[in-house]
Amino acid sequence: MNKEIKEVARQKIGEYLKSLREEKGISTYQMTKSHGIRFEAIQAIEEGSSNYTIDNFLTYISALDCYFYLANRDGKHLDHDYMISKMEGGKKEKKKN
């Protein structure tokens, strides 16, 4: 993936997450106080910067009560229920394809 595509993808993801945060009525101040994510990290995520960690990203989406999962380009995706279970500390068995 070239640099320009990555930049546009980060910006679009950041814009979406910011609009979701605003829709839910969560301020950046609330996120820093209740979830321990630094303001600079929130700003980096929402602006599409490349200087934030995956831990900050996961904390951010957790603060919004959202999940993040990946799909393969062929349209097959990871078992959503299995991923959610693992994220919540469950022991659900992975589906067999």
Which one is the CATH code of 3-66: 1.10.260.40, 3.40.630.10, 3.40.50.2300, 1.10.10.10? 1.10.260.40
The more confident residue out of 58 and 81 is 58
Give the predicted TM-score (pTM) of the model: 0.72
Sign (positive or negative) of CA dihedral 53, 58, 62, 64:
positive
Tell me the domain boundaries of the chain: 3-66, 68-97
DSSP character at residue 97? -
pLDDT at 41: 94
Q: How confident is the model at residue 74 (pLDDT cuts 50, 70, 90)?
A: confident
Backbone angles phi, psi at 69, to 5 degrees: -145, 165
Residues 44 and 10: beta-carbon distance below 8 Å? no
